[in-house]
Amino acid sequence: MQEHDARILRGAALPTAVVGVVALIVGFALAGTQGLFGALFGLTLVIGAFAASAFVISWTGGRRPELLLPVAFLVYTTKLGILLAILLLFKGTTALDTDVFGWTALACVIVWLGAQAVAVKRSKQPTIVPEGEADETAAAATGGHR
């Protein structure tokens, strides 16, 4: 994983984890152990799904940038399918509070997306490097020797 991708991942994961800890406390206070499990499941599901997506997309971007868009689409649709299967699997469960799970997952998704947007903005990673600047950057990286 490239350094700027790792910074973006940390920038999104840490605030999401903080919100998740708050959700664990609130879930336990509202619904006891089932609320705690619901919040933990929601937090784990969101962080796991978004982190796995980030790793796959970063890996693809570093090796085959021309495949970035198709892989991102495949990762997105696969993630939705897996999440749908998990939700259907736990549809009628009494092991966790589904309301706490839903609100925790929603809060974590919103925080992840917002924090990721802020981290991307702060990274100042250019999406397009003009041809002349790319040559200058390569020359500077090799110490002026080509």
Give the tens place of pLDDT for each residue, 98-111: 899 999 999 999 99
Overall average pLDDT of the 41-49 stretch: 93
pLDDT value at position 140? 54
For 112, the token pair is 């992840």
Q: Specify if 146 maps to a domain.
A: no
pTM for this one? 0.77
Write the pLDDT tens digit of every residue in 1-34.
677 778 888 889 999 999 999 999 999 999 999 9
Q: DSSP assignment of 87-104, as one string?
A: HHHTTT-SSS-HHHHHHH
Instruction: Determine, yes or no, domain membership for 23.
Output: yes
| 49 within domain boundaries | yes
Q: Whole-angstrom Cα distance, residue 95 to residue 131?
A: 57
Residue 71 maps to a domain: yes
Backbone φ and ψ for 53, nearest 5 degrees, come out as: -60, -45
Confidence of residue 146 (pLDDT cuts 50, 70, 90): very low
Number of domains in the chain: 1
- Residues 30-42, mean pLDDT to the nearest whole number: 93
Domain limits for position 105: 3-141
For residues 136 and 43, which has the higher predicted lDDT (pLDDT)? 43
pLDDT at 39 over 70: yes
Angle of the 68-89 helix axis to the 3-63 helix axis, nearest 10: 110
Query: Helix (H) and strand (E) counts for the chain?
Result: 4, 0
Rounded Cα–Cα distance for residues 62 and 36 (Å): 38
